[in-house]
């Protein structure tokens, strides 16, 4: 069973399409109920759970509901994220900062924490946390987002090493800009800045990111953990 957690329906639907080919049952955990209904229309046997990823109790309950409904969770993909305002760090309100951190990194932590014990009990699991190139480089006028995604990388590396002697792997993906609904949260100036940094001179496609996620989440990806996978059109320098 594949658990997709995130407020990015475009990326999640594409990942579901790829994993469906591998005959996995799926669930989509999202803040927005409409996305669950859209996903259910795409895949008839989808198990949907609406959850605020910033609420640890709700995440824990959603994890238990999913396990009870489907029997097991083999794969966790965490992609819930918001950009936050595009402004200088000193102009950020405390409320906006906390909102980004709560969803983008605390939510990832809560989801990982909720599912790892189950995976350890079964001695198998694949966790793919979605970070960002911003977590490597830091984007100006996006300090909360960049900080949160750097934290996702750090969490992935630490947890992956903690689980390295088990059959539970933990890796993350650091996409450059991929044109999804999250662009609606950004200023055009910020979108243009991101495009200017990509040597391929185009945005990524959701299918390209989903294909990478699907391989990392597969049984074949068995000797890689605590790793960061680049999908940035040549932007990443490390």
Q: Is 145 a catalytic residue?
A: yes
Tokens read off for 93: 């309100």
Number of Cβ atoms within 10 Å of the Cβ of 196: 8
Number of Cβ atoms within 10 Å of the Cβ of 30: 25
Tokens read off for 71: 């029997």
Catalytic pick from 92, 124, 145, 238? Answer: 145
Placement of tokens 């055009």 in the chain: 188
Beta-carbon contacts of 161 under 8 Å, excluding residues fewer than 6 positions away, are 225, 226
Positive or negative, the CA dihedral 57, 58, 60, 61 is positive
CA angle 201, 172, 192 (to 5 degrees): 25
| Whether the Cβ atoms of residue 169 and residue 160 lie closer than 8 Å to each other | yes
The residues annotated with a catalytic role in the active site are 145
């Amino acid at each position: 069973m594949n658990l997709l957690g995130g407020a990015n329906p475009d990326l999640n639907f594409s990942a579901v399409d790829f994993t469906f080919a591998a005959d996995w049952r799926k669930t989509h955990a999202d803040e927005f109920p409409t996305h669950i209904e859209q996903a259910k229309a795409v895949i008839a046997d989808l198990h949907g759970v609406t959850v605020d990823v910033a609420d640890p109790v709700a995440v824990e309950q959603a994890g238990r509901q999913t396990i009870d409904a489907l029997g097991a969770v083999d794969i966790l993909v965490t992609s819930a994220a918001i950009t936050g305002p595009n402004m200088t760090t000193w102009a950020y309100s405390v409320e906006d900062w906390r909102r980004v951190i709560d969803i983008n990194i605390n939510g990832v932590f809560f989801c990982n924490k909720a599912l790892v014990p189950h995976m350890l009990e079964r001695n198998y699991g694949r966790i793919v946390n979605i970070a960002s190139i911003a977590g490597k480089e830091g984007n100006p006028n996006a300090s909360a987002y960049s900080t949160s995604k750097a934290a996702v990388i750090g969490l992935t590396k630490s947890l992956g090493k903690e689980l390295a002697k088990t059959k539970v792997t933990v890796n993350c993906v650091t996409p450059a800009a991929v044109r999804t609904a999250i662009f609606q949260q950004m200023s055009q100036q910020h979108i243009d800045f991101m495009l200017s940094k990509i040597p391929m001179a185009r945005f990524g496609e959701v299918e390209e990111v989903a294909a990478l996620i699907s391989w990392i989440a597969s049984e074949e990806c068995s000797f890689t953990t605590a790793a960061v996978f680049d999908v940035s059109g040549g932007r990443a320098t490390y």
